[in-house]
Structure 1
């Protein structure tokens, strides 16, 4: 690999822009709205007339916020405003005792042996994805559409034991794609402190798509509640979560609460996995030597057996490196509940604390060859050190993504299965431009050529 052959990266803006210009850039794309100096800064301050934001890249500060004192830095309500129509009061948006109760009910569904139990459903969804790709062999394909389809299929098979072809599952998938395209990562409430009674100015199509998705999920959830009561429910993730009682209160999720959680499972489990897998396939087309290694490894060790996952070490490193370069959730926002002093700066209560996997994963003072694609880095001392201190594609600490292990199984398996059967290569189109909507996606899609392997 040569350093000049770098994966695509957004062009950073200039240093001097007005607040109005910044808000416009931010709503268009959160990544290119940031100045290039953030790839070297340990901490940076951004001021508005209403609040202060502090981006923190120094590993010690990130550790303080996420691991050592998470209760002092709850999730920012400003960021949740834009996602509330879809996610309601889900575990992704809540804080404090409400969040802790939700995690006590959800976490057991993703522990240890549950990954092994869900593996057959993930395998079946992967085979279905290959069957859909068969119709595009020998031609150009927009790969994000297919990774979205595959990731959604995984969610429905593991959560509700239904394939994506199921009528309701298919409708949720198509409505969610419309929502993803219409929903900016932030709305006006992220910049201006609006009173609770004031409208949040959501676009009509965004509200309509969110309402439609929640209505369909409510239908699935109510049907599952009835199956549980009739003792006919399959033993999948939805049943596990809906029958788990909070060990502290003894309460279970109501149907409405479960709808909130299913919405975030779909967002976190579908959007993020689809994003990472599409970028992984693009990188494999850009770096064919690594693609051949993944394909050879899959040919030798891949099998419909959970234990075979331990043999896919190269594919795992490739997927891990993809998550470093293209973390699906590029920024996380917390706020401090008491006055702080970080790097000799006074941080007033209620300030926005921005933790940016996008900048931390490419930080020039932490990583060797930060913008380069190098899956072998994870075996180096620098890679191991950064893995501990500067790598958080699934967040970190107590709020680490519940489905992190699930995502690594899904991504590695589907990547290996696709590359065992097909060779992907670049087309004559321009390189995809990463932009951040709900997740890091390509502005105009990712087009690859798909050819069967001999």
Structure 2
């Protein structure tokens, strides 16, 4: 049986400095094999303690039970500040709660129906774009997935296609930025002493400055349109015009720039990662690819997809879920213990780092049946549904769950169904994919597929 690719795990223990060298090369391949069975693991250095938690009860406690006692670690922002500023991704406490009160209404279930036409336009554009590439030549599908996901974000957020001059420049600059810093950086998972300098890479500062400047142009123009009453009814307008219900004040320009930056990073980079791996998995398992194509044809017919169709794409949704399980775009999340804690009879001091790893939780040998196998049919069973409830956190969970989780599930299922209905994707045996963690989980040397008309 062919198994989806997975980085080789370390066997046994290594020294701290050896671990740091492995970690700098790739977060995923640095992890010990025992973490796929452990409920909890402690990482000690002379300066700090980190605890990786896989036990569902502990994950639930941190994310849902007492989330205010486990705020996002300040170290998370160390590699991301140049681009994200003070966005909702890195803030805590009252600042974060105010930001979510303003942002969340834009992503409520009823609003998704309103942004669906823009998603569909991006999907139709992606189908046309792949038509010119569907000649059987090996292609790196990651680039095409990134293009499609960025198009979705610009159309739903600012009502402009990626071909727009400013949108195209943001996309190109982000491609240069994305490999300069991992979304889970070394200082977050392996916290260095506070006195150690943490200079940002020159390229990181440069590309972040350019991206924020371009986003500022779009944001300032939209705020002016809102004042003039000429703004389209898209996500940017909804967020700009939503006041905090407790204070009556909305975002100013710089606050909005911070939020748009994380919308683009989270909404584009993570969706591109998931779509690329979904297409690769379907190329590895052509029988599932044919079933997805058949479902899309049966549901859409010869017409355009409709929002009402999305609830009928159950098989495609399960394929996308299984992709998020095997290749969660953000492989690890870091929280910080605010109070003294006891986890599994082990004392956890205030300030300790609590690492929650979708990468390990989703492949945990004591939780999932055949954890390294691609089995979308698992979600039709009670055991699979229980795992979804207890051990599936690609978008986090609790009060800090990604506000765009519902958006991402509709986008991913729609794009996957539209592309597979029109094209066949086949693996390139001489260029197998291998996951590594950059900004998100991507292919080490890309994800190469052959595309042909179906």
What TM-score range do you get, normalising by the shorter chain? over 0.9
The equivalent of 1:176 in structure 2 is 174
The equivalent of 1:284 in structure 2 is 282
Alignment length (residue pairs): 448
The answer to whether the 8 Å contact 1:188/1:201 transfers is no
The equivalent of 1:212 in structure 2 is 210
Q: Tell me, what secondary structure is at the counterpart of 2:178?
A: helix
The equivalent of 1:221 in structure 2 is 219
Q: Tell me, what secondary structure is at the counterpart of 1:41?
A: coil
Q: Tell me, what secondary structure is at the counterpart of 1:337?
A: coil
The equivalent of 2:387 in structure 1 is 386
Q: Pick from 12, 15, 20 the counterpart of residue 17 of structure 2.
A: 20
The equivalent of 2:228 in structure 1 is 230
The answer to whether the 8 Å contact 2:151/2:162 transfers is yes
> Matched residues in 1 for 2:217 and 2:21: separation?
38
The answer to whether the 8 Å contact 2:35/2:41 transfers is yes
State the Cα distance separating 1:15 from its structure 2 match.
2.7
Q: Pick from 61, 70, 73 the counterpart of residue 70 of structure 2.
A: 73
Q: Tell me, what secondary structure is at the counterpart of 2:430?
A: coil
Q: Tell me, what secondary structure is at the counterpart of 1:136?
A: coil
> Matched residues in 2 for 1:361 and 1:144: separation?
23
Q: Pick from 47, 56, 59 the counterpart of residue 59 of structure 1.
A: 56
> Matched residues in 2 for 1:243 and 1:188: separation?
37
Unmatched segments (≥5 aa) in structure 1: none
State the Cα distance separating 1:323 from its structure 2 match.
0.3
Asked if 1:329 is matched to 2:327, the reply is no
State the Cα distance separating 1:159 from its structure 2 match.
0.2
> Matched residues in 2 for 1:322 and 1:89: separation?
31
Cα deviation per residue 1:2-30 (whole Å; 9 max; x = unaligned)? Answer: xx311000111233222222222222211
TM-score, normalised to structure 1's length?
0.97
The equivalent of 2:39 in structure 1 is 42
State the Cα distance separating 1:295 from its structure 2 match.
0.2
Q: What value does the CA root-mean-square deviation take over the aligned residues?
A: 1.1
> Matched residues in 2 for 1:13 and 1:203: separation?
29
Cα deviation per residue 1:316-339 (whole Å; 9 max; x = unaligned)? Answer: 000000000000000000011000
Asked if 1:192 is matched to 2:189, the reply is no
The answer to whether the 8 Å contact 1:424/1:451 transfers is yes
Asked if 1:247 is matched to 2:245, the reply is yes
The equivalent of 2:307 in structure 1 is 306
Q: Pick from 136, 153, 156 the counterpart of residue 154 of structure 2.
A: 156
The equivalent of 2:89 in structure 1 is 92
Q: Which runs of 4+ in 1 moved over 6 A?
A: none
State the Cα distance separating 1:199 from its structure 2 match.
5.1
> Matched residues in 1 for 2:46 and 2:236: separation?
45
Unmatched segments (≥5 aa) in structure 2: none
The answer to whether the 8 Å contact 2:331/2:357 transfers is yes
Q: Tell me, what secondary structure is at the counterpart of 2:452?
A: strand
The answer to whether the 8 Å contact 2:13/2:32 transfers is no
